[in-house]
């Protein structure tokens, strides 16, 4: 288990999206029964790009975390977006991750 402030990164898998597409993801944390203080950040090329990609807020109910709306901006085709949701449990912070591979217009998956 991580100490408070540590963020273990767990790769939850790759998702494929297209420019202009929006989705809301939910994450089930099976190891917990209750969580609090959730947050979500988005990174492109190692830099935070949350303002361009994320709208709304993160919500927690029991052990399910519902992320804000993720929208892929035009011009992001060919990039990878890393979404890092975090939760707080008993004073410790935990992180998960979703890698979104963005297809260029007309590109097949």
Phi and psi at residue 19, to the nearest 5°: -55, 135
Task: Indicate yes or no: pTM above 0.85.
Answer: no
Instruction: Report pLDDT digits (tens) over 28-65.
Output: 888 899 998 789 999 999 899 999 999 999 999 998 99
Q: Three-state SS for 51?
A: helix
How far apart, in whole angstroms, are the C-alpha atoms of residue 72 and residue 19? 5
Angle at 38 between CA 35 and CA 40, to 5 degrees: 145
Query: pLDDT class for 6, splitting at 50, 70, 90?
Result: very low
How far apart, in whole angstroms, are the C-alpha atoms of residue 74 and residue 90? 40
Token code pair at residue 6: 């540590």
Residue with tokens 């519902």: 66
Instruction: Report pLDDT digits (tens) over 57-73.
Output: 999 999 899 999 999 99
β 36-44/69-71 pair status:
unpaired
Query: pLDDT class for 107, splitting at 50, 70, 90?
Result: confident
Q: Is the pLDDT of residue 1 over 90?
A: no
Length of the chain: 109
């Amino acid at each position: 288990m991580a100490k408070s402030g540590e963020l273990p990164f767990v790769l939850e898998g790759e998702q494929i999206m297209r420019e202009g597409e929006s989705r809301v993801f939910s994450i089930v944390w099976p190891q917990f029964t209750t969580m609090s203080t959730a947050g979500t950040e988005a990174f492109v090329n190692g830099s935070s790009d949350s303002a361009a990609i994320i709208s709304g807020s993160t919500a927690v109910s029991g052990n399910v975390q519902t992320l804000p709306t993720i929208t892929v901006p035009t011009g992001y085709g060919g990039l990878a977006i890393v979404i890092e949701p975090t939760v707080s449990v008993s004073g410790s912070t935990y992180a998960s991750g979703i890698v979104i591979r963005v297809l260029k217009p007309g590109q097949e998956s």
